[in-house]
Structures are given as structure tokens and as C-alpha cells.
A and B are shown apart, each in its own frame.
Chain A
Amino acid sequence: MTHGTAGLLLLADGRLPAGGYAHSGGLEAAVRTGRVRDTADLGRFLTGRATTTGATNAAFAAAACAALRGAGADAEPGEEQQTLTRLAVLDTELDARTPSPALRRVSHALGRQLLRALKAVNPHPLQQRMQQGPNHPVAFGAGAAMLGLTPVDAARGVLHESVSGPSSAVVKLMSADPFDAYRTIAELRGLLDEIAEDAAGRALDHPEDLPSYGAPLSDHLAEDHETHETRLFAS
């Protein structure tokens, strides 16, 4: 990562005003059902999240970033259409890898919000022509490319969000030391880097060949969470 670091920090910052703060990445449901009770559990939860949803999302973010790189203001019209088509295919493929309708809704809502924020934060000609509510990783990857970032950056950013979201939500959900929560992320950094490199290595694969790691229990909990009466986080 020799260039674009500042852009990546901007995009992956949980404080970027794109509505991410309203979500716990499935942690609330896991705490409520007694599956996460302490920091050790949180570590296992985050490892599971990074290696399943996180790894899949990282691959799609990297692929979306690769699809858009180079398609700037000076791109040929045909080229631009190709990029948009590829993004749409990636989006459909990711839908197919997200069995929970609740999680699909969340991902599209977050993608739409990110795109809306980036239109104001970092305007780019393709933003108006893109589908307005893509899955979050697709929006993230496209947004990364618009900031001049590379596929591995996009993968890193999405993975960072997938673990930092729950880690900052945890103190609102159970008695947890915020330092312990962030130590958990620190301990995962080797794994996260590995997953990001792997995701970037597949950025040019056919969309249908991208990975589809699943966590059926998370899907099930997400469905249940969507209709739960007293939730602090939307997901």
C-alpha cells in the first residue's frame, strides 16, 4: 500500500457519515442468545465473521474495485457500460450468496447510504449511473476505486469494517472493556491481512467463481433480529 492510504483511512473510518453506526454486524443477536458472553467469545465471533461473511465481502469489494479502476472521466462510453454491467453482475452474485433476506436488505441499505455519502464526499461521474442500492461491499469496492485505491485496499477496508463495527458496538451490548474489544481486533490483524491478500488475488475472477463462505446460524439470527421488539441496533 504505497499510495492512497489517506483515501483508505477515510473510507474505512467508522465515523464516515454513512449510517454504519446503527448496526452491530450480528453481534447484538449473538449476545442476546447467549452465544457471546465475554471477550474470548467476542474473539471467536469476530474470527468467524472475518472468515465467512468478511472473506466473501472482501472478495466482492476487491472485484468491484477492479471492475471500476480506470473507468474514470476519460473512459470510452463502451468501457463505462462494461464496468456498470460487471458491477451489476457482482451485485447479483453477492445476493445469491446472502440467503437471509434481512441481511440482503441491510447490505443494500448500507450500500445505498455509502454511495449517497460518497456522492457528496468524493463526486465521480459513474455514481449517477450506478445502480443506487448495491450491496455494501460492491459500493465499497466501487467507492475505493473512485478514491484511487486498489483491490487489496478495498478488501482490507471491508474486512476492517466487518470487525470494527461489532467491536465498537460490544460495549453497548454487554459488560465489556473497550480495550479488550480492540485487543481482539489487534490479535486478528494477521488473519485479516491474509484474507485481504487472498481476496485481492481473485479480483479478476469470473464473478460466479468468487467465494461463498457461509454461516447459517448468523443468517438465522439475523432473520430473528429483524423483528425483535427491543433491539439497539438495526442488525
Chain B
Amino acid sequence: MGSENTVEEQGTDTPGARSLRLGVAGPVGTGKSSVIAALCRALSEEMRIGVVTNDIYTDEDARFLKAEGVLPEERIRAVETGACPHTAIRDDVTMNLLAVEDLEQDFAPLDIVLVESGGDNLTATFSPSLVDAQLFVLDVAGGGDVARKGGPGIGRADLVVVNKVDLADHVGVDVPQMVDDATRAREGAPVLALSGKRWGTVEQLCEWVRGLHRRHLSGTHVPTDPGPMAPHFHADEEGGYLHSHV
């Protein structure tokens, strides 16, 4: 990696002039890789796509996507983030940024680069210095309450996906209620109920991505930062205190 790369790296940072960089965040196992696989499968005829995966250990997610055969293997790159998956998408994006820039250069022109964050907790969101927009993926198996808990990803990601709705009956989750809760936590911003097993929902996700890509090209999409961890409340004997992470 890197040693043979003598081509100039210049930050092509004018939006629209380079690919749309779309982050996929969310807790462990909610279906981030599956969402990416579904998008690649459904959109690869109409868009030129690259994928960057993040893993704590080795390159599990990249291997999964390669095995799915949704994209030519060389368009899927793994970044190993060490013990801090959230650091790689917010505090220190350099590894991911280089991976994205490499893909854009090696396969120019690309329409979209999807970046999967390593599964983390509800507070991990992408920095706008790495992506133009982000999905935050929850699943019904994590419980219907999660959407109400809010946090920067749920509250302010460009789209919240409530995944695995095919399992709702098995885990006793009321999907319309969960979508409602998320919509309220987001003050009306979009929420999509998704299942990889239901084509119609995947098509809705694709429509959202197409719309975003059009706005990116026309320069009307404004990247927003869901923000770092919001100040939150810790209960203690004195009745609690507000606590903010920087």
C-alpha cells in the first residue's frame, strides 16, 4: 500500500466534481454491509460505485462484500481501524479519506463511494470532512425503543434506516410505531423501513440515493454534521449531572 503511489494526491474538494461520498453508520450487526450489498446490486447498472469498509479485526466486511459478488473485487477496499472504529470516521479520518481518494483516482470517474463504519454505538457519526451524507442503520431486532433514544446519528443523519422489518413479528416490534418514534426524534427528517427480503423497500432506498446523487451533482446538497456526542444525562446520588464529550 502506498509505496508505489507517486501520483499527485490533490484534494478534489469541489462537491459535484468528484463522487458522492456516502457513509453508512450504525450499531454492530444492524445490517450496514447488507445495505451496501443491496445498493450495489440494485444500482451497479446505472452508477459506478466504490466501497470502503472499516473493521476492527482484519477485513471481514470487505470479504463479505467480495463474496457477495456485488462489485468487482478491486472496487472494495478495507481500512483496518484498530480498536477505535469511531475515531476513523470522526476524530482522525485520514486512513478512510486516503482510501476514498484512491478509489476515486483508480476508477475515475466514480458516481458514489460508500463508506461503511465499523459497528459502534449510537453516538458514532461521520465527520463531514470524510462524507457528504450518511445513513444511520438501526434494526428491529435491537428493540423498538432504540429509535426513541435519539443521539446524533438517529437525530441528524441524512436518512435513518430501520432494517430487518421482516423480523418485526418475531421480536415483537411495531414497525409503524418505531418509524414514528424515529421521525419524531428527527423532527420530521426521513426514516425508511427496510428489509433485504422485500424488494419494494430496497427500491425506496435506491430512490433516496438517486435523489441525493442528483442534488450532489447540481450542488444543492449541503453536507451537514450530525454533530459529536450530544451532552447527556448521568444519574447519580445528587440527582444527576449533564455531561458532554468532546
Inter-chain contact total with CB atoms closer than 8 Å: 77
> Quick check: is A23 within 8 A (CB to CB) of the other chain?
yes
From B80, B88, B97, contact of A116 by CB (8 A):
B97
Chain B's closest residue to A133 (CB) is B2
Of A106-114, A179-187, A210-218, which binds chain B?
A: A106-114
Contacts of A229 in B (CB 8 A): 57-58
> Quick check: is A17 within 8 A (CB to CB) of the other chain?
yes
CB distance from A108 to the nearest CB of B (A): 4
With A17-B93, A109-B2, A128-B10 known as contacts, the answer to whether A22 contacts B58 (CB < 8 A) is no
> Quick check: is A44 within 8 A (CB to CB) of the other chain?
no
Cα–Cα distance between A131 and B3 once the two chains are bound (Å)? 8
- Docked-complex contact B87 and A21, CB < 8 angstroms: yes
Cα–Cα distance between A119 and B13 once the two chains are bound (Å)? 13
> Quick check: is A96 within 8 A (CB to CB) of the other chain?
no
CB distance from B160 to the nearest CB of A (A): 27
- Docked-complex contact A233 and B82, CB < 8 angstroms: yes
Interface size counted on chain A using CB atoms at 8 A: 29
- Docked-complex contact A18 and B58, CB < 8 angstroms: no
- Docked-complex contact A105 and B94, CB < 8 angstroms: no
Interface SS of chain B: loop
CB distance from B24 to the nearest CB of A (A): 20
- Docked-complex contact B94 and A131, CB < 8 angstroms: no
Contacts of A22 in B (CB 8 A): 80-82, 84, 88, 95
A107-159: which residues lie under 8 A (CB-CB) from chain B?
108-109, 111-113, 116-117, 119-120, 128, 131-133
> Quick check: is A19 within 8 A (CB to CB) of the other chain?
yes
Chain A's closest residue to B2 (CB) is A133
B70-115: which residues lie under 8 A (CB-CB) from chain A?
80-84, 87-88, 91-95, 97-98
A62-92: which residues lie under 8 A (CB-CB) from chain B?
none
Contacts of A233 in B (CB 8 A): 82-83
Cα–Cα distance between A132 and B2 once the two chains are bound (Å)? 7
Contacts of B84 in A (CB 8 A): 21-22
- Docked-complex contact A117 and B3, CB < 8 angstroms: no
Chain A's closest residue to B87 (CB) is A21
Contacts of B57 in A (CB 8 A): 229-232
Cα–Cα distance between A15 and B8 once the two chains are bound (Å)? 26
- Docked-complex contact A108 and B2, CB < 8 angstroms: yes
> Quick check: is A189 within 8 A (CB to CB) of the other chain?
no
CB distance from B59 to the nearest CB of A (A): 11
CB distance from B103 to the nearest CB of A (A): 15
With A22-B95, A111-B2, A116-B98 known as contacts, the answer to whether A232 contacts B8 (CB < 8 A) is no
Contacts of B92 in A (CB 8 A): 15, 17-19, 21
26 residue pairs bridging A and B, Cβ less than 8 Å apart: A15-B91, A15-B92, A17-B92, A17-B94, A18-B92, A18-B94, A19-B95, A22-B82, A104-B3, A108-B1, A109-B1, A112-B2, A116-B97, A119-B9, A128-B10, A132-B7, A133-B2, A133-B3, A133-B4, A133-B5, A133-B6, A172-B83, A230-B58, A231-B58, A232-B57, A232-B82
Apart from A17-B94, A21-B84, A231-B58, list 18 A-B contacts with CB within 8 A. Answer: A18-B94, A22-B81, A22-B82, A105-B2, A108-B2, A109-B1, A109-B2, A111-B2, A120-B11, A128-B10, A132-B2, A132-B6, A132-B8, A133-B4, A133-B6, A230-B57, A232-B56, A232-B82
Q: Which residues of B contact A (CB under 8 A)?
A: 1-11, 56-58, 80-84, 87-88, 91-95, 97-98
